[in-house]
Amino acid sequence: MDEQDFKDLYGLMRGNSDATSVMDAQGLFALKDYRQTLEKLQGIQQRYETSKVRVMRTKIEESSGRKSSEQEAKERRLQKKQTRYREVMEKLDEMQAALPTLIQRAEARKARQQPQQAGAVDQSREDTIDIQASEELTHSGEEQSPSLEQFIREFIAAPAATGQRELIDRCFKVRPVGDAKDVRAGELYFIDGGEQTYLALVRKSDNPERVRLKSAITGERLRTIDLPTFLKLGQRDRVVRLKPLPQNSGSSERPQTSTSASTPTPAPQSTAAAPPIEDDDDVVIGGNALQESAETAKILDKGAFSQLADAANRSGICPGADLIAHVRDRDFRLGNFQDALQTMEGIYGKFTAAAASRTAQLRQEDAAIQSGRVKMSPKDLAAKRARDAAQNQLVERARNRFSRVLDGLRVLLRKETGED
């Protein structure tokens, strides 16, 4: 069974009110949605059979006498209609008989893929974050990361933590810090402490519950942070691990070996490094910000915003899609859930209005095609149906992503205001 069968069936049913439904079924078949295709064909057959009951019950009278030419023409038309009916029903039966096999194969293939997907969930999550960070770099073209010296100068000159974070997103792969295995000696980390920011290297420590740091800019020792506090920062996206981009993989060791000597001039101007103190002193960077529950990351994380931004862009009908990344990197990251919710509700309102307008337009187009005001060949109509069906899936995917983010923000806001 292939798409030619749908074209043949459309040719047999041309002029019938269900002919366009055949093109809908062909679009579903092209998307490999075999179960929906079968249901569509069953509906077509049921309606077609009901509409032709009177024609099939009419019998051609046999008489020994001579018939008039008008009577002969009438019988020929009736015989032609009945022959066409049988051909359509045979074609529908043939196509429906082939679909259960395709459905079973698709379900078996899906069942084989599920164990593999379940075993790779943790790895795929980290890979997705890496891909999202890389896509923001390559979306508008290839960019070469600056040298370490140039990066540090730009980092120091950046006006605020948000500007520094944007610079980091352009120059590094940003990986989350969620548990102890993400804290590695010699790795480079960005720490947002609220009033101060730090570009730091993790030093070796004999105590696994303490994270010893030194400035990647000046080489001076920073305050030692206890591991739970450090991980809480990571869960709030206040600490991230920085990895060199692929095109600069050959320089991945430079932050560890040349940071203290590479920028002697800008170092005294830096406001990112804290004064050196004893290694056994602890400090909670960011003050009250760290008192917020780590459960926030379980309710909603930045990945949900990134997935929503991707889905909104792919839908092609979301006017404010570019603001989603802004909400993620500013309001949500800083814990301003009320502002984030208001902005996201505004974007969602525009999205739903655009989706409703698109649905109305598609209905008008279908009515024009069915009435004959718009002429389309079967091939063009099938292509249009396939495009519309694919776009509908993208719109529904974006709608689901919006619901996920909005629900999460409402829960976080209720927790913040003490309503829960």
Of the two residues 47 and 141, the one the predictor is more confident about is 47
On the question of pLDDT at 279 being above 60, the answer is no
Same domain, residue pair 98 and 199:
no
**Gap between the Cα atoms of 253 and 144, Å rounded:** 18
Q: Cβ(184)–Cβ(172) under 8 Å?
A: no
- Percent of the chain surpassing pLDDT 90: 2
Q: For residue 33, what pLDDT is reported?
A: 82
| Cβ atoms within 10 Å of 264's Cβ, excluding its own | 9
Q: Are 159 and 105 within one domain?
A: no
- pLDDT at residue number 268: 36
Residues 145 and 282 in one domain: yes
Cα–Cα distance, 378 to 362 (Å, whole number):
17
Q: Compute the average pLDDT of residues 11-28.
A: 78
Q: Could you write out the DSSP letters of every residue in 130-158?
A: HHHHHHHHHTT---PPPPHHHHHHHHHH-
Tokens of 119: 């075993």
Weakest mean pLDDT among 26-30, 60-64, 175-179, 253-257: 253-257
Query: Average pLDDT, stretch 272-301?
Result: 45
Q: 277 pLDDT band (50/70/90 cuts)?
A: very low
Mean pLDDT across the chain:
75
Indicate the range of 32-36, 128-132, 243-247, 372-376 predicted with least confidence: 128-132
Tell me which of 85 and 280 has the higher pLDDT. Answer: 85
Pair 203, 320 in one domain:
no
Q: How confident is the model at residue 140 (pLDDT cuts 50, 70, 90)?
A: very low
The tally of domains found in the chain comes to 3
Q: Transcribe 60-125 into DSSP letters.
A: PPP-SSPPPHHHHHHHHHHHHHHHHHHHHHHHHHHHHHHHHHHHHHHHHHHHHHHHHHHHTHHHHH
Is residue 227 domain-resident? yes
Q: Provide the pLDDT for residue 75.
A: 83
CA–CA gap between residue 117 and residue 107 (Å, rounded): 15
Q: How many whole angstroms separate alpha carbon 420 and alpha carbon 140?
A: 43
Residue at 109 is within a domain: yes
In a domain, 30, yes or no: yes
- Residue 226 pLDDT more than 70? yes
**Most confident among 25-29, 126-130, 274-278, 362-366 (mean pLDDT):** 362-366
User: Looking at the whole model, is its pTM more than 0.75?
Assistant: no
Dihedral angle, C-alpha 208, 216, 137, 165, nearest 10 ° = 80
Q: Are residues 245 and 312 in the same domain?
A: no
pLDDT digit string, tens, across residues 171-221:
888 888 888 888 888 888 888 776 677 788 888 877 888 888 888 777 777
The pLDDT of residue 130 is 47
Is 328 in the same domain as 285? no
What pLDDT shows up at residue 128?
53
| pLDDT of residue 332 exceeding 70 | yes
> What is the Cα–Cα distance from 44 to 49, expressed in whole angstroms?
8
How many Å apart are CA 407 and CA 153, to the nearest integer?
A: 41
pLDDT of residue 272: 38
In angstroms and rounded to an integer, the radius of gyration of the C-alpha atoms of the chain is 32
Burial of 268 (0-12, 13-18, 19+ CB in 10 A): exposed
| One-letter amino acid for residue 416 of the chain | E
For 108, the domain range is 3-113
Q: Is residue 120 part of a domain?
A: no
| Residue 275 pLDDT level (bands cut at 50, 70, 90) | very low
Q: Are residues 279 and 163 part of one domain?
A: yes
Cα 55 to Cα 16: distance, rounded to the nearest angstrom: 14
Instruction: Judge if 189 and 222 occupy the same domain.
Output: yes
Taking alpha carbons only, the member of 180, 164, 183 closest to residue 172 is: 164
Residue 222 near residue 273, CB atoms below 8 Å: yes
Question: In whole angstroms, what is the distance from residue 50 CA to residue 85 CA?
Answer: 11
Query: Quick check: is 239 in a domain?
Result: yes
**According to the model, what pLDDT value does residue 260 have?**
36
pLDDT at 293 over 60: no
Share of the chain above pLDDT 70, in %: 75
Based on the domain organization, do 145 and 268 belong to the same domain? yes
Whether 106 and 132 map to the same domain: the answer is no
- Which of 137, 172, 142 is closest to 244 using CA atoms? 172
Using pLDDT thresholds of 50, 70 and 90, give the confidence band for residue 141: very low
* 313 and 284 within one domain: no
Helix, strand, or coil (residue 42): helix
* 299 vs 298, higher pLDDT: 299
Residue 119 pLDDT class (50, 70, 90 cuts): low
Indicate the pLDDT class of residue 65, thresholds 50, 70 and 90.
Answer: low
Query: C-alpha angle with apex 39: 38 to 44, nearest 5 degrees?
Result: 95
Q: Are residues 187 and 218 in the same domain?
A: yes
The neighbouring-strand residues paired with 214 are: 201, 221
- The yes-or-no verdict on residue 286 having pLDDT over 50 is no
pLDDT bucket at 274, cuts 50 / 70 / 90? very low
Task: Give the tens place of pLDDT for each residue, 384-406.
Answer: 988 998 898 899 999 989 988 98
- Domain ends where: 87, 113, 139? 113
Q: Is the pLDDT of residue 282 over 50?
A: no
